[in-house]
């Protein structure tokens, strides 16, 4: 079964998002209580810490919903998990080893985990457009690292791909900006000398 829902159509039919979801559950004769128990068992929702017994979605539940939305969008490239892992690995290899903060404790690894990079890439195409190619992504990553090596405000890999603002919640992507600059013919800067040794 495929559902294609656009929020602007809800208002046209005098419905809110909550009301539409309620109608869908009635239309499909969903077992709501059984679904809640199953979601708790899977770790997607929880009542832990709520004095009134209300349910709240967990990080795993939010990630699952985001993946469903992204995977359902025809504009997002249909990349296999294996191909995505290869691209993520190539991006990590461009980034320096070590941590953004070394003292007094090591924090914020430059390369981030392979899982974090894969997740960011999938959401990157969803948020910023599917026209960015693997080749452009790798070249832009290389340009960024070469230009920003040794500088205080260089972003870790996952935040280079995209980052959500803490102030207004807007999404920004240094990766997308770098690719756009490449397409506009901006000249590539020369790499800083011995950047890998400096940043490890």
Domain count of the chain? 1
Instruction: With respect to residue 188, please indicate whether it lies within any of the assigned structural domains.
Output: yes
- Tell me the two tokens of residue 108: 């914020």
Instruction: With respect to residue 104, please indicate whether it lies within any of the assigned structural domains.
Output: yes
Q: Quick one: pLDDT at residue 76?
A: 67
Does 82 or 77 have the greater pLDDT score?
A: 82
Alpha-helical regions (H) of the chain = 7-12, 17-27, 32-42, 59-72, 81-94, 114-128, 134-148, 157-161, 174-183, 195-199
Q: Quick one: pLDDT at residue 130?
A: 79
Residue reference for tokens 């948020």: 127
Per-residue confidence band for 3, with pLDDT thresholds at 50, 70 and 90? confident
Neighbouring residues of 98: CB distance < 8 A, sequence distance ≥ 6: 109, 110, 199, 200
Q: Stretch 158-185: mean pLDDT, rounded?
A: 90
Residue 198 has pLDDT above 50, yes or no: no
Per-residue confidence band for 187, with pLDDT thresholds at 50, 70 and 90? low
Query: What percent of the chain is predicted at pLDDT more than 90?
Result: 33
Does 104 or 197 have the greater pLDDT score?
A: 104
Which residue, among 107, 125, 108, 111, has the nearest Cα to 162 in the 3D structure? Answer: 125
Phi, psi (degrees; rounded to nearest 5) at 177? -65, -40
> Residue 119: which domain range?
76-200
d(CA 180, CA 146): 17
Contact yes or no for 182/140 (Cβ under 8 A):
yes
Q: Quick one: pLDDT at residue 193?
A: 47
Instruction: With respect to residue 46, please indicate whether it lies within any of the assigned structural domains.
Output: no
Instruction: With respect to residue 145, please indicate whether it lies within any of the assigned structural domains.
Output: yes
Q: Stretch 127-133: mean pLDDT, rounded?
A: 85
Q: Stretch 107-134: mean pLDDT, rounded?
A: 89
Contact yes or no for 173/128 (Cβ under 8 A):
yes
Q: Stretch 155-171: mean pLDDT, rounded?
A: 89
d(CA 171, CA 12): 29
Q: Quick one: pLDDT at residue 127?
A: 85
Q: Quick one: pLDDT at residue 194?
A: 44
Q: Quick one: pLDDT at residue 49?
A: 65
Residue 11 has pLDDT above 70, yes or no: yes
Greatest mean pLDDT range, 29-38, 95-104, 180-189: 29-38
Using alpha carbons only, what angle is made at residue 160 by residues 151 and 104, rounded to the nearest 5 degrees? 50
Strands (E), 83-131: 99-101, 107-109
Instruction: With respect to residue 63, please indicate whether it lies within any of the assigned structural domains.
Output: no
Instruction: With respect to residue 178, please indicate whether it lies within any of the assigned structural domains.
Output: yes
Instruction: With respect to residue 161, please indicate whether it lies within any of the assigned structural domains.
Output: yes
Residue 191 has pLDDT above 60, yes or no: no
Instruction: With respect to residue 106, please indicate whether it lies within any of the assigned structural domains.
Output: yes
Convert the pLDDT of each residue in 24-60 to its tens digit.
888 888 888 888 889 999 999 898 766 677 888 888 8
Per-residue confidence band for 182, with pLDDT thresholds at 50, 70 and 90? very high
């Amino acid at each position: 079964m495929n559902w294609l829902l656009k929020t602007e159509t809800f208002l046209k039919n005098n419905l809110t998002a909550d009301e539409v979801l309620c109608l869908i559950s009635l239309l499909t004769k969903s077992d709501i209580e059984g679904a809640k128990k199953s979601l708790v068992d899977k770790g997607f929702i929880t009542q832990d810490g709520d004095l009134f017994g209300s349910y709240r979605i967990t990080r795993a539940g939010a990630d699952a919903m985001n993946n469903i939305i992204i995977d359902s969008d025809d504009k997002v490239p249909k990349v296999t998990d294996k191909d995505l892992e290869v691209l993520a690995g190539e991006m990590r290899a461009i980034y320096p080893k070590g941590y953004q903060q070394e003292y007094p404790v090591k924090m914020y690894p430059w390369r981030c985990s392979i899982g974090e990079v894969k997740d960011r890439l999938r959401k990157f195409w969803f948020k910023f457009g599917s026209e960015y190619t693997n080749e452009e992504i790798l070249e832009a990553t290389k340009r960024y690292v070469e230009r920003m090596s040794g500088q205080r405000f260089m972003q870790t890999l996952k935040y280079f791909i995209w980052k959500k603002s803490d102030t207004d919640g807007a999404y920004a992507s240094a990766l997308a900006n770098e690719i756009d600059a490449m397409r506009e013919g901006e000249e590539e800067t020369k790499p800083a000398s011995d950047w890998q040794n400096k940043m490890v």
